[in-house]
Amino acid sequence: MSIRYLKEILREGKHIVCLLGREAAAQNGGVFYQRDFSYDIESKYGMSPDEIFSTTYFHNRPQEFFRFYREEVLMKRAEPTGVHSVLKRMQDDGKLSAIITRGFFNASQKAGCTNVIHLYGTVDDNRCPHCGEKYSAEYILEHRPIPKCEKCGTMIHPGVILAGEMLDSSVVTNAAEAISCADTLLVVGCNLASRLGSLARYFNGNKIALVNTIEHYTDRRADCVCIGPSLEDILTGAYPEAEPESEITEADGTRKTDKERDKK
């Protein structure tokens, strides 16, 4: 674990792309991504989340599907945390070009991050598969049992890509392009063999930095590896907030910052 090396890499990176994995979401209360979620769902529904959150189940048992989507997904949204705040600061400093994530709760955008590529869509972009009309998460929550399009009456499709469905090829192409233009790849909360982490194959830049909670044999492909229980602590340590400029009161009573005094 070398936070000092990570700090150096993040300081030197000018076009950083972040692959933000599920562990980052699990750590901020994103129940959907936590390890005991599958167990809880199996005991409640008699099926695994992957079986329920699938295109087959959606079409065959829409009423049960939407109960699950409302109660287990929409009402247990993951909220942004310190990891997202660090990414927001990197964006404000003009260093972060894009965030690519499997997460579908829009947590990065809630933290103020722009240019977020959601490989699996988001819970806020529910859509009518017939006419293309968009519907918010609130609309799905309010229209029970099966939410239908107001324009054409078709059952609305959730904004998230379900098991058994293809990823949107234009979204994958955007992600690959962003990665191929980056000088630094910051992989957070997943390993390089995961579906998200394997996008590192498009990277042609200088340094791959990996921050995760557990080690994996593919970590050796990264230039810098930081493993620790809190992703937030590692990232905050490696990309600390800038010290506020200290103000000094001049002899004439005016307050000036160090920089202003240096100009004199």
Q: Catalog residues that contact Zn ion under the rule CB under 5 A.
A: 128, 130-131, 133, 149, 151-152, 154
3-state secondary structure of 176: helix
Distances, alpha carbon 176 to alpha carbons 98, 116, 179, 180, in Å: 11, 13, 5, 6
Kindly tell me which of 149 and 210 has the beta carbon lying closer to Zn ion: 149
Kindly tell me which of 25 and 149 has the beta carbon lying closer to Zn ion: 149
Kindly tell me which of 144 and 151 has the beta carbon lying closer to Zn ion: 151
Read off the tokens for 25. Answer: 């979401």
Smallest distance from Zn ion to CB 142, Å = 17
Task: Name which of 85, 105, 78, 91 is nearest 16 in CA terms.
Answer: 91
Read off the tokens for 142. Answer: 């309010």
Smallest distance from Zn ion to CB 128, Å = 3
DSSP string, 118-154: ETTB-TT-EE-TTT--EE-HHHHHHS-SS-B-TTT-P
Kindly tell me which of 12 and 150 has the beta carbon lying closer to Zn ion: 150
Smallest distance from Zn ion to CB 80, Å = 32
Read off the tokens for 147. Answer: 């939410």
Smallest distance from Zn ion to CB 152, Å = 3
Distances, alpha carbon 90 to alpha carbons 35, 86, 119, 211, 235, in Å: 29, 6, 21, 16, 11
Smallest distance from Zn ion to CB 161, Å = 19
Kindly tell me which of 129 and 229 has the beta carbon lying closer to Zn ion: 129
